[in-house]
Structure 1
């Protein structure tokens, strides 16, 4: 192949004047391309026309970056009377929105307090407390008596295996409800006879949790109150004997019977033993005794 098929740059001249073909040269010139190479097509960026950027005639003292004045202007030309009024209106609107948010937060706290059933909701209202268990003052007094033993002697009932555990064991971590609310739930179950599903809905817990709370407090109060002295000394009873018992100065206790609603057992034999014709329901019967110093005239006149 002759040198006509190579470009002029593919040859190199040696020191002796000889014309040699460079290594790697490729023949590109032929008769079908008329021994010429086509011009390379420009890319899109090079083919797209663009407007020329105007040259700014800067003063001689501003041509250098070091000499440029970077100080902030002493006037805010963007602030017009219209924008100033708009800014004031936005500030007033933000203040009104803050007040609305505060009122809504207060209403939300009130609604949460109304929907949450606990001792705080009943605080200060003996009528509400009497509706579910006892008078507020008596409830608080009873709680103060049992509170010291709650954290030291209470055994949480979690299964049938732990139901017979000794009361001297240390209690497990607290449940979802505070201990005072657990006592309120237990007394509501005893005094009003509310079912487990109703108690669970009121206190926001599961029905199984409500059942375990009742079992726990039943065993706890049985051990705690059963260890207390049953009879008040006779001299104390005589010293505080109401005037209604002046004809019976040797009275020590007034006896009565009571019934507590209970679940209907599945055994027919147990149903016949616990069924009450007076209450038309399954109940636990018990005899109670109360010292006369705790009675009042209204209780004595109650038929």
Structure 2
């Protein structure tokens, strides 16, 4: 052990005497480059020159932007080394004792993050490729033949009818955009653009048609089942669509529905007694109450004192609506309801089931079977409204017995 320690100490003393020194320059003060990731110093490098910032405010601002130091305080001792300038920006000294100077308006452009190279300038339109020689008649016929043979492989232009059919596949069948892109032979971004375009177009076209029906027409087409509630103008109910949960806890609390135990979007639907959609609200956060959505949806401006609405028990809107309300009775602390209230509740429930049937028709669009992703929130109101409006065109009556025989 002693022998090993003695040899180790002797070796250490021999190596400790060896010193390594950088070659110093003759300058008394050292200058350092202020550019990030640059460790150049005049103390150990006599080949580089170090330049102060220009006095011109505009050129100085360009220097700060170029070296990526916006909030940087420039002092008289702040330097930028010559390795960050192009060769044409630096003037060599005329004598051996002279200093290198920069041309007027020179800005540093070579850095560590661009590998000390400048991006190549973009060629002009006519410099990018050689112009083909003029074609003869034989060449033109061959070119037309090749274009007809391979036009399908190069590009695919969809007709408006095909685009609309693609949109209906997306809405009714719930087809994925990647699947539609493969089926129609187009890019997935094209599918997304077509869906957005057609949803906005149908939302504008179908939304321009007035769907609210006056009282006279409703009474003229009133089904016989509503004879005891002949003044009913609209049956109201809410529907909820499952959506992706946002990452923000605040948004999660606003979107969470206690009824569905999930983040949802909630909308108010109105149905005429004969089964036509007469009112569609926009979608709200799932935590909104039935009373609040009735207040904000705009349905109150359409109701008049001579009308009547039919709602569920959760719609406590007696202080909001200016008309009569048909609603199932409450127990209100009693052990049971009276016979009259039971019969009335059963009658209203049999008639209110029609709005449930309409909501089921809307949700037969397979697009609403899965969670609505957050990326579609900018277009979900259009998709939902179009799906509701299409039920007035693509389906028969809610009850087959209500269909009138042609005269």
TM-score when normalising by structure 1: 0.34
Structure number having the greater helix percentage: 1
The one of the two structures with greater contact order (alpha-carbon pairs below 8 A, sep at least 6) is 2
Which structure: larger Rg?
1
